[in-house]
Amino acid sequence: MLVAQPIKLPANQFDHFYKGGNRIGKLRNGPGGPMRPEEWLGSTTTRFGSANQGLTLLEDGTTLKESVSTNPESWLGKAHVNRFGASIEILVKLLDPDQRLPVHYHPKRNFAKQHLGVPHGKTEAWIVLEAPKDAWVGIGFESNMTMSNVKNMVEKEDTKGLIHSLNKRKVKAGEGILVPAGIPHAIAEGIFILELQEPTDFSILLEWEGFAVDGLKDGHLNLGFDLALQALNLDALKSEDVEKLVVSTENDSSLMTSMLPVQAEPYFRSHLLRPKNASLEFAPGFSILLATQGNGQINTEKQGNFPINKGDAFIIPFESGSWSLTGNIEVLLSRPPAPDAPMSSL
């Protein structure tokens, strides 16, 4: 694919160490499966330790990663490439955990650069698509912790202690939550999420009871826990600080709504699009779309028009020119940071 073109994304799932439900398969008309709780949408990122698992395949048999590397300005635009290089700067996932995710965290950029040899950490964000009553997430320690205390709980595999140490926040559909790198977190079972993150697969586990993973062997990015724990934020996260990471669309009927707080801008952008009888217009730029309700149409300046229906996921490249969305439809738009976005200091 010499010139980047819009792509309707096929299913891109693979087995993980935790159990998945049936909602990804139902929404995306994909295979699903009891150990397939994730789908990676428009991915140029590989699973940690794998050469190709996780990459999006194009119709010609090449990967999106290969195509972007070959022709980055066609996919991303000159301003993006001048700022970020040939990296799309984002990984978008669907998560449908059928069991609680373990307490874990992700390294910041400076730690990843120093110890893992890559420029990205893993700040992430959750867009809640569905949540059962009383669904919760854990985010940040409730009280200040010491390294020795955390290390002791990890060594003793103290699952209850680690879960108890987190702030618990009830969540509901329509909320967006930014999770900065370094902050410990967990997600209760049954919450259906669209996740945006930096383009890495770096996770450090603090507990793993009941999961199909050997945390002592595979829980620390091959760094050993002594080093890996240095990437953990031990400071308490106050409830008011947690709320600053959350955006709610419960009473918002706007045609276009930001799903994340301003602190997310150095990492990625997320918007809920509901064009109704209008046409929502966008400047050229790499975009990943997921339709969660209804039917509509993507109209591009240079490369034609495409129907988009509930469950469809599309990539729109810079090469398509300006584009618009019409129809009775709800779409989650995920994009990399703008070329003039503020720099992250972490």
- Burial bucket for residue 2 (CB in 10 Å: 0-12, 13-18, 19+): exposed
224/186 same-domain check: yes
Same domain flag for 92 and 149 = yes
Widest distance between CA atoms in the chain: 59
Each residue of 162-208: pLDDT tens digit? 999 999 999 999 999 999 999 999 999 999 999 999 999 999 999 99
SS3 144: coil
Residue 126: pLDDT over 80: yes
Show which of 203, 219, 248 is a domain's final residue. Answer: 248
Mean pLDDT in residue range 305-317: 98
Q: Mean pLDDT check: name the lowest of 16-30, 48-62, 182-196, 324-338.
A: 16-30
Range of the domain at 74: 12-248
Confidence label for 1 from pLDDT (cuts 50, 70 and 90): low
CATH number at residue 325: 2.60.120.10
- With bands split at pLDDT 50, 70 and 90, how would you rate the model's confidence at 251? confident
- 345 belongs to a structural domain: no
Examine the pLDDT at 275 and tell me if it is beyond 70: yes
Confidence of residue 154 (pLDDT cuts 50, 70, 90): very high
- Cβ atoms within 10 A of the Cβ of 183, count? 24
Number of domains into which the chain is organized: 2
Domain end position, chosen among 248, 276, 308: 248
Residue 197: CB atoms within 10 Å? 24
Pair (295, 244) in one structural domain: no
pLDDT value, residue 287: 98
Q: Would you say 333 and 283 are in contact if contact means Cβ atoms under 8 Å apart?
A: no
Q: What was the pLDDT predicted at 17? A: 84
**Within-domain flag for 7:** no
Instruction: Tell me whether residue 343 is in a domain.
Output: no
Residue 4 in any domain: the answer is no
Residue 20: pLDDT band by 50, 70, 90 thresholds? confident
pLDDT exceeds cutoff 90 at 45: yes
